[in-house]
Amino acid sequence: MTNQQRVPFILLGIVLLPAWLHGNAASKTPPVTRDFVKFCEASATDCADAISLTEVTMMFNSVKNDFCVPLSAYNKDSLTPESVNKIKAWIAAHPALADHPTQETLEAAIKVVWPPTEACAAEHTDHLPKITGQFVNYCEHQDEAHQDACMDVLTTQSLASLISAPGTVCLPDSVTATVQGLDRQISDVEKWLRDHKELAEQPRNASIRAAYSALYPCKKQP
């Protein structure tokens, strides 16, 4: 498997896991921009986590492709200090936004700091089939490169489902906490896609998200 094929899964792991492990960055982020600035001054780690989580949420919810975060913006843990400083510098240069919602300010900053260049887009593009039936056929190859690449795509879309449709898809610990559980998750999703032949000509990512919604729905509260 090439490094380029691994980009989506690796990037999401880099961005999301630190944010979640630090106690849900979204819940700790001050809602108003002026307080967010103080928040960043108090904790560089929490600041980086909050910006990272915003970027990934935007990536999955955006339909305009109006920004792109390059891989160079991240180190092995989270955003690099230089990347965080770019966002903070943009916010500091726009004092009129001090009383605006933090989320809106971060989104505006991210779109300016990370424009959608062709080079950046190429870093985030996988080369697997984009049509469901063709993707399923690709994943049926048993060689390691095919299996790893399919795992990256499926895992990326599982995280996309969690972010873009909160409260709809809930992955239990049994399919996320261990390698065996992850393997079972991937096998179940691939089987669901094979069994739903009516989706063969549909876009791959939409079909994968439908599989996660069907296989791992959140339990309704009584």
Number of domains into which the chain is organized: 2
The pLDDT of residue 219 is above 60 = yes
Distance CA 206, CA 178 (A): 26
> Same domain for 198 and 141?
yes
Q: What is the mean pLDDT of residues 111-135?
A: 90
Query: For residue 140, which phi and psi values (nearest 5 degrees)?
Result: -75, -15
pLDDT of the residue at 163 = 72
pLDDT of the residue at 63 = 65
Q: Is residue 220 part of a domain?
A: no
**Planar angle of CA 195, 199, 203, nearest 5 degrees:** 130
Distance CA 203, CA 207 (A): 6
Q: What share of the chain is helix, strand, coil (3-state, %, to 5)?
A: 70, 5, 30
Which pLDDT band holds residue 222 (cuts at 50, 70, 90)? low
The pLDDT of residue 167 is above 90 = no
pLDDT of the residue at 9 = 41
Q: What is the mean pLDDT of residues 81-94?
A: 96
> Same domain for 23 and 90?
yes
Among residues of the chain, what percentage have pLDDT more than 90? 45
Q: What is the mean pLDDT of residues 139-164?
A: 85
Distance CA 86, CA 47 (A): 12
> Same domain for 177 and 99?
no
> Same domain for 19 and 94?
yes
Q: What is the mean pLDDT of residues 126-151?
A: 91
State which residues form the domain around 201. 132-215
- Token look-up 């967010």 returns 36
pLDDT of the residue at 145 = 86
Asked whether 91 and 33 are in contact (CB, 8 A), the reply is yes
Q: Tell me, what DSSP letter sits at residue 79?
A: B
Q: Is residue 222 part of a domain?
A: no
Residue with the bigger pLDDT between 37 and 76: it is 37
Distance CA 145, CA 151 (A): 10
Domain end position, chosen among 58, 93, 123: 123
> Same domain for 169 and 117?
no
pLDDT of the residue at 221 = 60
> Same domain for 7 and 117?
yes
Q: Is residue 66 part of a domain?
A: yes
Domain end position, chosen among 123, 155, 183: 123
Q: Is residue 221 part of a domain?
A: no
Query: For residue 219, which phi and psi values (nearest 5 degrees)?
Result: -75, 135
Which pLDDT band holds residue 127 (cuts at 50, 70, 90)? confident
Domain end position, chosen among 74, 91, 123: 123
> Same domain for 52 and 116?
yes
Q: Is residue 73 part of a domain?
A: yes
pTM of the shown model = 0.66
pLDDT tens for each residue of 17-61? 444 444 455 668 899 999 999 999 999 988 988 898 888 788 777
